[in-house]
Structure formats: structure tokens, C-alpha cells
Structure 1
Amino acid sequence: MTAKWEKGEGNQGVLTVEVGADEFKSALDQAFQKVKKDVDIPGFRKGKVPRQIFEQRFGVEALYQDAVDIVVPPAYSKAIEETGIEPVDQPEIDLEEIEKGEPLVFKATVEVKPEVELGQYKGLEIEEFDTSVSEEEVENELEQLREQHSDLVVVEEAAQEGDTVIFDFEGFMDGEPFEGGQAENHSLELGAGQFIPGFEEQMVGMEPGDEKTVEVTFPEDYGAEDLAGQPATFEVKLHEVKRKELPELDDELAKDVDEEIETLDELKKQKREELEHNKEHEKEHHQQDTVVEKARDNASVDVPNGMIKSETDRMAQEMQQQFESQGISMDMYYQMAGTDEEGMKEQFKPEAEKRVRMNLVLEAIADAEELEADDEKIEEQLEQIAEANQRDKEEIRQFLEMQGNIETLKNELRMQSALQFLVDNSVTVEAKEEDGETEEEQT
């Protein structure tokens, strides 16, 4: 077998493969063994027809398609390996020469991984990230804890934003009730934005026992097409108003929040440490996001459509898994979002292209700097995966090897090394003031 790669425009090219006559003859023999068991010719038992009789009756061409199916896939895989190309999509196969006793020649038009022309990726500027924690931020955390440990108390007062109301409602369009527009003893927190825009605002000021007609217009992008953009009225009867009663900010609250804490001062210290820890993580993400975006924008690469399609498919699969874990079917999501699978993937395309471009650039940097995933990092990652899944590390290793995912893991770690390289070789500058002055310091 011989293979020749000719690069065309963009990321496409043509791979010309010649399969030897003997190899093609072997494929024809296998094709005959496959089809003869189903051939019914008078005078011969099924599966016993001689090859010569078969070819006289049907012609050797009747075996070509099966022979091609047998010989082309392995020949294509071997040709990829020999030429060193990296296809990113399925090829278009065209048969050029096919004849018994002669070599088989086919051409595969294929889109390959693009070349990346790196721009500046060392010395990229990162604005410094303030990790200090203010007293106000700590107080906000404590107020949230008060909210979380509050009780809902029934009040005989007019409903305010933030109150939880219990009410009946029935919706009408053109004076007629519509399906799904009725409920009794429904619970709603006013101001939470759970109902149609304008509905909750009109309930503010109502008192228990009040009845009111609420007028709204359904949003244009509302999930139910027969309601989208349409005006409607709701007859509302308010039964009960509940208001949050916040606990005192004291030692007792601290004990309720964490049984290992005795005083409010200990709780404040804990919250400050948590905020400091979170800000350190935010700083790390800020650094990584900044350098990778700049390196990506400084590079030149023509992203293949095949890679974008693969990434959108992966994003769609991730979303499906996420929704299914919440008990939401994709059909339900499509109805709520007013779209379908193709529409959703079309929305994913811009982000998918950014992700693919970023990964290609990181890979190119790893190549340029000869970065590899060393054995120690691989072992650490395997231990983390094993711990997360409560499995033995060697069991995880064997599973990944069986699935062919060890190389994927190595590549992911290699990309992480490239990302860390960008951060380590960046320059930190003061956050820009109004006068635009900056001061640099090496990270």
C-alpha cells in the first residue's frame, strides 16, 4: 500500500491511497465468502455456488462494494499513520480505479487539524487581582446566614417585596380561561421573578382577603407559542402574607450555623478565611483566563468546521446530561426555550469556536516549549479520579487504558502545563486607574 498527501486550500487536502492487487484480491475473496451463503442459483445448494459460476451469473462487480468496505477502512487508517496527518472529521471517499487483478486506488478528501501561527505568548500582562477581604464583605456573609436561618411568620399586613404570599389565581385570554393558568394556595416570594414580568409587582400592597385583577403581557419568547406576546388577565385572591423573621446576630446564631463554633467572633473569623480562600481561587482563574484569551487572540489559526461541530455536539451532550440529572428532558427544555436541537447547537457555535481555538493555541504552546505530562502528574490525576469515584487507582488506570483514554488524560495535563507556563511567564500590572498609568512587576 502507498499513500500520498496533497494539502489543498484551508485545512482540506486529498489523501491518495493505492491498495496492492494482492490485497484487493484478498478482499474480493472475503467478499465472496460473505455473500455466497445468501446466493440462490438453481442446481446449487445455498452457500455452495462456485466462484466462477457466481461471477458468470452476476459479474465480479457484484463483489466490489463489499470488498471496498473490507479494504478501505484499514487502508485509510494506515495511510493516516504513514502520512502523519490528523483528520478532524469523516473523509469523503472517491474510488479512482477498481478492477479485478489490479491495484485499488481511492482518494479521501479530508479536513485536518490546522497549523497554528503563534503570536506573543510570553510576557502577557495581567492586571493585579485584589484578594483582600473587607469588613463589609464579612458582614454581608453574616447577613446571608441570617436570611438562611430566618423563619417565615404570618403577618396581617400589606404584602411587601420579599414577602411570601399564599394565593389563588386564574388566568384569562380574551375573557376565556387558558390551560395551565389556574392554581390554588400557590406560594410565591414577591420580587423573586418567578412569574410573568409585572405580575409580582401588582401584588405588592395587597392584604390578606383582598381580590384583584392583574394585567400582564406574556414575553415574546415565552415557551408556549399560543401565549407568547399575548395580553392576559389574572383574577387573584390573597390568603396569607408571610414575612421573614431574622435571628439576632449573636453567639446563638453562630452555634446554629456550625456546631463546632461557640462564638460570633469565631464565625466571623471562619467567614473571613473562606472569603480569602475563595478570592485566591478567583485570582487564579483571573490569571488563567486573561493569559489564555490574550494568547488565543494573538495567534492566527483557521479553525476547521469539523472541530467546531464536534465541540458543539459535546456541549449539547453535556447539557443533556445536566438536565437529565435534574429530571428535565430535552424536549421539555426545547419547549421552554422555544428552540430545537439544531437551534441550540447553532447558539453554541461561537463559544465552541473559542474553545477549539484556545485548545489549539495551548497545544501549539506545549509543542513550542516541549511541555509534557510527567509521570508524577499522571499519578496525581489518577489518584484524584480514584478518590472522587471511590475506586482503586489501578482500577481507574485499567479502565482508562481499556477505553483508550490514557492519552486523552495525558493531553489534558499537557494543556494544563501550557496554561501554567503562560501564567508563570506573564507580567502583573497594577489595575488601570483613571489616568491610565500602570506599574509592572514580574509574576
Structure 2
Amino acid sequence: MKSAVETLSPTRAKLTVEVPFEELKPSLDAAYQQIAQQINVPGFRRGKVPPMVIDRQVGRGAVLDQAINDVLPKKYVEALQSNSLEPLAQPEIEVTRFEDNEALEFTAEVDVKPEIEVPDFTGIEAQVDDVEITDADVEEQLQNLRERFGSLTDVERAAADGDFVVLDLVATQDGEAVEGAEVSGMSYQVGRGGMLDGLDEALVGMAAGEDKTFTSELVGGDLVGQAVEVRVTVTQVQEQELPELDDEFAQMASEFDTVEELTADVRERLGRGKRLEQAAAARDAVLEALLEKVEVPLPESLVTDELNARRQNMEQQLAFAGITMEKYLEDEGQTQEEFEADLERRVRDAVAAQFVLDEIAKRQEYGVDQSELSAHLVRRAQQSGQDPQEFANHMFEHNHVPELVQEILRGKALAAVVESAVVTDASGNHVELENLRPDGTIGEPEPEASADAETAAAGEADTAAEERQD
């Protein structure tokens, strides 16, 4: 087989492949055998029909077509490997020349990974915000804790902001009740928001036994975004009583004896969370600084596919939350055009980052062992709220392990870049990134992988890692 590659653009190549007829003979023999099993010819047992009879009964052209369909994918992969091309999508293949007993010639146009010249990333500089824990932050956390231990008492007065009410609610459109848009006996805190526009305003001033009707828009169901009439009836008004913030409360709500110890612990926990946020911001800032140093050609088809996937995911998340895109854009203070521009910018940065990190991982010859893959599987399962073993089984059954391996390799490359960077906060202090995991993620020390997940990931994980290292 002979092959030649023509560079159509930095991210697209055209392969021209010539396959001698002799190399088609194994596929041709297999085609004859398969067809012989499928036809009935008087005087011959099934599967024993000679090729010349098949040519007469079925036609030599049908046999050649089947042989070509069998050999094309194999020769395409061989041509990719011999020309060191990494495809990013399915190719556009065209048979340009073929006659019986003569060489087969075909072309394949495909998007490929661009060649990237990664600059020296040692000492990349980046800056992040200071870690700041204010007294207001601490007070907010303590207030939330007090509310968890608060009690509700019925009151004989109208509801005010912050009170709890027990309510019945029904939505109607054109006088007909909307299916699924009614609740009964629900406890709701006035002023909390997030349910129906206009509900909080309607509840303020209502006493037990009173009802009120207002116009709103549904946030879920088949009529999401449509105007409806909402009738709300209050059956109870309750006032929340919070425990005093004293030593007795500290002993009840925590393992501490004094409110001073509880407050110090809250501040320390806030500090840890803020430092994790700072480390994540540092990682992102370093990656952004790296991307500014390198030019990465992007395949438009890949960008388009990723844009469509993110839009679809966004729409699904909003639908699940019962929020229309219009409402989301209004809350974010964005126009549709601004949203699209921001989404495209983030997609292009993400695709470019993948290419750069893949190249770094390749040059550094990183590998992935079973324990790393198992830990990654567990972490991904936890992030998606799934059982680790079920998640691992799904990944193996649907051949997603190579994607997980690539995620780990990119994480290692990112960790190497970040560890060699110089990161300071706004005050000029050096930022220590002790919360950076080896795979580039940010968090507390890695949890132990469960025995079930380890078992599910065992043999296949070794195989996947070894194949990637090869």
C-alpha cells in the first residue's frame, strides 16, 4: 500500500491511498465465503458455492463492493498511522479509481490534530485575588447554623418577610387548572424566592385563612414561561425563633464547648474553602496565561460540535431547574448575542487547552496506572452523584475509558504547568498550591477508592493504561 498526505489547512488533511489488488484478495475471499453462506444454488451445499458460480448468480460487482467496504477502514487506519496523523472526526472517503484486478485508489479528508509548538512554560506568571474572610462571612455561616436549629411557632398575625407560611397553591389558565401546577400544605419562607414570580409579594400581609390571586409565569412543565393565574391560600403563619448564640448553643450544634471555639472553627473552615477557590482560580489563570503564549489552530467542525453539545446541556439543565433561557439571560444581565459570544469564547479556549495539554503530556511521556484510573473513576462518580461501581461499569461497557485516561493525562500536564508557575495574590504574596492534585484538579486529599470500584476497574484499567503508555 502507498499513501500520501496533503495538508489542506493546519487542522485538515487529505490522504491519497493506493492499494494493490493483491492486498484486496483476503477481503475478496471473505466476501465470497460470506455470500456463499447467504445464497441457495441447486447442486451446491450452502457455503460451498464456488466463486465462479457466485459471479454468475450474484455478480462480480457485488462481491467487489463488499470487499472494498471491508478493506477501506483498515487501509485508512494504516495510512493514518504511517503518516502520523491523529484524526478528530469521521473522514470523508471517496473511491477515486478501481477496476477489477487493478489497484484500488481512494482519498480521505479528515480533521486532524494540529501541530503545536509548545513554549517553555517554566515560570509563567499569574495573579489571583487575596483570600479574605470577613466578619460578615463568619456571621452569615453562624446565622445559617442557628436557622438549622430554629423552631417555628404559630402566630395570630399577617405574614411578614422572613416568616414561614403553610400554603395551598393552584395555577389556572383560561379558567382551567394547570396539571401539575398545584401544591397543598407546603411550608414556605416568605422572601426566599425561587418558586414563582410574585409569590413573595402576595404573601406579605396575608393572615391564616386568607387567599389571594396574582398573575405569574410557570417555571416548569409543558406550559413553562406562559402566563397563568395563581391562587394562594395561607393556612398557617409561623414565626421562626432562633437559639441564642452562646456556649449552650455551641455545645448543642457542634463538638465545641464555647461559642468562641465554634466561631474560630467556622472561620477556619471558611478559610479552607476560600483557599480551594483561590487554588482553582490560580490553576485557571496559569492555563489562560499559557494559552496566550501559543497559537492553536482550531478545527471549526470540532468547535461547532462542542458548541452544540454545550448548548444542549445548558438547555437540559435549565429545563430541569424549571427556568427558561429568557429568564436565565435576564438574571445574568446578558443578551442572547452576548451569551453566544461568551459561550463560543469559552469553547474555543477549552478546545485549545485540550490540544496544548495533550501535546505536553505526549512530550513528557506521561502514563496512567490502575490506581490513578480507579481514583479518577471514583471522583467522577461522586461528582455526578452515581454509585462508583455502576459508573465504572458504564464507562467500560460504552468504551469511555480512553476518554477518562486522556482526562488524567491532561490533568498531569496541567499540574506540571501550574507547579512550575509563579502565582501571587493581589497583595503580592506567593500563593502555595498545596491543594493541587496530581491530575490537575483542586480539592482536599484524595479519598480512598472503594473496593467495589477497584474491582470493577481492575483488569480493564491496566489494559487501558498500558495501551496509552505504548
Scaled to the shorter chain, the TM-score interval is: 0.7 to 0.9
Residue equivalent to 2:366:
373
Q: Are 1:120 and 1:298, in contact at CA under 8 Å, matched by a contact in 2?
A: no
What amino acid sits opposite 1:99 in the alignment? E
Q: Are 2:125 and 2:421, in contact at CA under 8 Å, matched by a contact in 1?
A: no
Deviation at 1:290, TM superposition (A): 1.1
1:115-155 deviations in whole A, cap 9, x for unaligned?
33557956544334323534443232212211222122222
Residue identity over aligned pairs, in percent, reads 30
Q: Are 1:288 and 1:420, in contact at CA under 8 Å, matched by a contact in 2?
A: no
Deviation at 1:407, TM superposition (A): 9.0
Q: Are 1:223 and 1:338, in contact at CA under 8 Å, matched by a contact in 2?
A: no
Alignment of 1:125-144 (within 5 A): 125-144=125-144
User: What is the distance in 2 between the residues matched to 1:306 and 1:233?
Assistant: 46
User: What is the distance in 1 between the residues matched to 2:276 and 2:374?
Assistant: 22
User: What is the distance in 2 between the residues matched to 1:411 and 1:129?
Assistant: 28
Residue equivalent to 2:192:
192
User: What is the distance in 2 between the residues matched to 1:334 and 1:147?
Assistant: 25
Residue equivalent to 2:8:
8
What amino acid sits opposite 1:24 in the alignment? L
Is 1:287 the counterpart of 2:257? The answer is no
Deviation at 1:224, TM superposition (A): 4.9
What amino acid sits opposite 2:214 in the alignment? E
Q: Are 2:10 and 2:115, in contact at CA under 8 Å, matched by a contact in 1?
A: no
What amino acid sits opposite 1:381 in the alignment? E
Is 1:228 the counterpart of 2:241? The answer is no
Alignment of 1:149-188 (within 5 A): 149-188=149-188
Residue equivalent to 1:215:
214
What amino acid sits opposite 1:360 in the alignment? F
The residue matched to 1:412 in structure 2 has which SS?
helix
Q: Are 1:362 and 1:419, in contact at CA under 8 Å, matched by a contact in 2?
A: no
Is 1:425 the counterpart of 2:414? The answer is no
Alignment CA distance shift 1:420-1:138 (3 Å): farther
The residue matched to 1:162 in structure 2 has which SS?
coil
1:28-49 deviations in whole A, cap 9, x for unaligned?
1110100112223344444332
1:246-277 deviations in whole A, cap 9, x for unaligned?
1111222222323x322222222222221222
What amino acid sits opposite 1:167 in the alignment? L
Deviation at 1:292, TM superposition (A): 1.2
Deviation at 1:82, TM superposition (A): 0.8
User: What is the distance in 2 between the residues matched to 1:385 and 1:228?
Assistant: 40
Alignment of 1:256-335 (within 5 A): 256-258=252-254, 260-308=255-303, 311=306, 333=320
What amino acid sits opposite 2:366 in the alignment? A
Gaps of 5+ in 1: 324-329, 340-345, 391-395, 432-438
Query: Which stretch shifts more, 11-20 or 134-143?
Result: 134-143
User: What is the distance in 2 between the residues matched to 1:314 and 1:172?
Assistant: 36
What amino acid sits opposite 2:72 in the alignment? V
Residue equivalent to 1:73:
73
Alignment CA distance shift 1:374-1:364 (3 Å): closer
User: What is the distance in 1 between the residues matched to 2:235 and 2:8?
Assistant: 73
Deviation at 1:278, TM superposition (A): 1.6
Deviation at 1:67, TM superposition (A): 0.6
Matched residues, number: 406
Match of 1:363 among 349, 358, 362: 358
Residue equivalent to 1:435:
none
Alignment CA distance shift 1:414-1:9 (3 Å): closer
Alignment CA distance shift 1:199-1:403 (3 Å): closer
Deviation at 1:237, TM superposition (A): 2.4
What amino acid sits opposite 1:76 in the alignment? Y
The residue matched to 1:17 in structure 2 has which SS?
strand
Alignment CA distance shift 1:314-1:202 (3 Å): closer
Residue equivalent to 1:27:
27
Q: Are 2:150 and 2:241, in contact at CA under 8 Å, matched by a contact in 1?
A: yes
Alignment CA distance shift 1:136-1:197 (3 Å): closer
User: What is the distance in 1 between the residues matched to 2:376 and 2:360?
Assistant: 26
Deviation at 1:88, TM superposition (A): 0.2
Deviation at 1:94, TM superposition (A): 0.8
User: What is the distance in 2 between the residues matched to 1:252 and 1:173?
Assistant: 52
What amino acid sits opposite 2:267 in the alignment? R
Gaps of 5+ in 2: 327-339, 383-391, 433-470
Residue equivalent to 2:241:
245
Q: Are 1:88 and 1:306, in contact at CA under 8 Å, matched by a contact in 2?
A: no
Alignment of 1:103-114 (within 5 A): 103-114=103-114
1:372-402 deviations in whole A, cap 9, x for unaligned?
4378xx5773574588699xxxxx9xx98x9
User: What is the distance in 1 between the residues matched to 2:98 and 2:121?
Assistant: 50
RMSD: 3.9
Deviation at 1:291, TM superposition (A): 1.7
User: What is the distance in 1 between the residues matched to 2:63 and 2:192?
Assistant: 69
What amino acid sits opposite 1:106 in the alignment? F
The residue matched to 2:158 in structure 1 has which SS?
coil
Is 1:18 the counterpart of 2:27? The answer is no
TM-score normalized by the length of structure 1:
0.77
User: What is the distance in 2 between the residues matched to 1:334 and 1:63?
Assistant: 55
Q: Are 1:154 and 1:240, in contact at CA under 8 Å, matched by a contact in 2?
A: yes
Alignment CA distance shift 1:262-1:407 (3 Å): same
Alignment CA distance shift 1:243-1:115 (3 Å): farther
Q: Are 1:292 and 1:419, in contact at CA under 8 Å, matched by a contact in 2?
A: no
The residue matched to 2:106 in structure 1 has which SS?
strand
